[in-house]
Amino acid sequence: MICDSEHEKARLLLEALPYIRDFYGKTIVIKYGGHAMVDEDLKRAFALNVILLKYVGINPVIVHGGGPQIGKMLDQLGIACQFRQGLRITDTATMDVVEMVLAGKINKQIVSLINRHGGMSVGLSGKDGNLIQARKLEMVLERKDAPPEIIDLGKVGEVTGINATLINTLKGQGFIPVIAPVGVDEEGETYNINADAVAGAVAVALSAKRLVLLTDVAGVLDASGQLISSLDLREASVAIEEGTVKGGMIPKMKCCMEAVDGGVEKAHVLDGRVENSIILELFTTSGIGTEIVHRRKRENRI
């Protein structure tokens, strides 16, 4: 006799069907970071979520961070570092460590994780095939009653271009690309780039269906601490101006807004500490995080 749990599994599969159909053949760019990269159960769940997407005909592309791991290695090597506006000031010695940790250790760990659980993954640095073209990021802080302050962040960059052909070639051959956010300029200079910004730029370059940012919070919260399920570009802008969105969520929200404004259908900010968060967000009616859209539809999240 079939038990209730088996019926529930069938119901959940049928609930996911319209989403799978809608996403079939499309690209989803996922920024992987935070606690989801540390906890063993969450790491396994992430790999299985990504592999499932690939097996049902969706093309996941992973961009990963690694700030805490970089900080730990710098401490071990006795290299001091400073931050301005959330960005790590990156001198030559720090850049060597950043590249070693991101493009070496972390990138290959994620590739191995996905491959070990039945996927086919390939790791890439932004320097491979001129994948992430960059330039030095100029930070200018406006000051009241004083001239603007120009801050030299060293080898911190911003994206100027993405080699979409390389990623599309790998996708077409059945591989899941895993990208380390290290870029290079026309002179061959290497830059450390914010992983959220890289994920957004990759999503726009690939005309992705979705951009997903995994974080260590539930999503965007209102003034009372309740999750905001959906925001359009106007509402998101107001939320930043009014201070509802603040701190480290501001650059994530701006990244999502730029991606949606650049043609990505929806961007999602969700809690990577929740097991199977990617599937729960993409394949269920209510989702678990915050979606950012160009213009919000009131009836559903598909």
**Distance from CA of residue 43 to its chain's centroid?**
15
Q: What is the pLDDT of residue 1?
A: 52
Cα 302 from Cα 286, distance rounded (Å): 9
Output the CA–CA distances (angstroms, integers) from residue 55 to 15, 82, 84, 172, 175, in the order listed: 18, 43, 42, 13, 11
Q: With residue 47 as reference, give the H or E element that holds it.
A: helix 40-55
**Is 95 in a helix, a strand, or coil?**
helix
- 177: closest CA among 158, 189, 190, 163? 163
Cα 175 from Cα 77, distance rounded (Å): 35
Classify residue 213: in a domain, yes or no.
no
**66 labelled binding-site residue:** yes
Classify residue 3: in a domain, yes or no.
no
> Which residues fall within 8 angstroms of residue 249, CB to CB, at 6 or more apart?
215, 217, 220, 269
Classify residue 118: in a domain, yes or no.
yes
Q: Using one digit for the tens of pLDDT, what is the confidence trace for 236-260?
A: 999 999 888 888 888 899 999 999 9
- CB burial readout 283-297, b (16+ within 10 A) else e: beeebbbbbbbeebe
Classify residue 184: in a domain, yes or no.
yes
Give the count of domains, the chain.
1
List the alpha helices (DSSP H) in 242-291: 249-261, 277-282
**174 labelled binding-site residue:** no
| Owning domain of residue 272 | 25-204+255-289
User: 107: domain CATH number?
Assistant: 3.40.1160.10
> Which residues fall within 8 angstroms of residue 92, CB to CB, at 6 or more apart?
154, 155
Flag residues of the chain having pLDDT under 70.
1-4, 296-302
Q: What is the pLDDT of residue 10?
A: 84
Classify residue 230: in a domain, yes or no.
no
Classify residue 236: in a domain, yes or no.
no
Classify residue 237: in a domain, yes or no.
no
Question: For the chain, what is the radius of gyration of the CA atoms?
Answer: 19
Amino acid identity for residue 7 in this structure: H
Cα 42 from Cα 92, distance rounded (Å): 34
**192 labelled binding-site residue:** yes
Q: Using one digit for the tens of pLDDT, what is the confidence trace for 127-152?
A: 999 999 999 998 877 777 777 777 78
Q: What is the pLDDT of residue 2?
A: 56
Q: What is the pLDDT of residue 8?
A: 81
Q: What is the pLDDT of residue 99?
A: 94
Answer yes or no: are the C-beta atoms of 266 and 206 closer than 8 Å.
no
Classify residue 1: in a domain, yes or no.
no
**143 labelled binding-site residue:** no
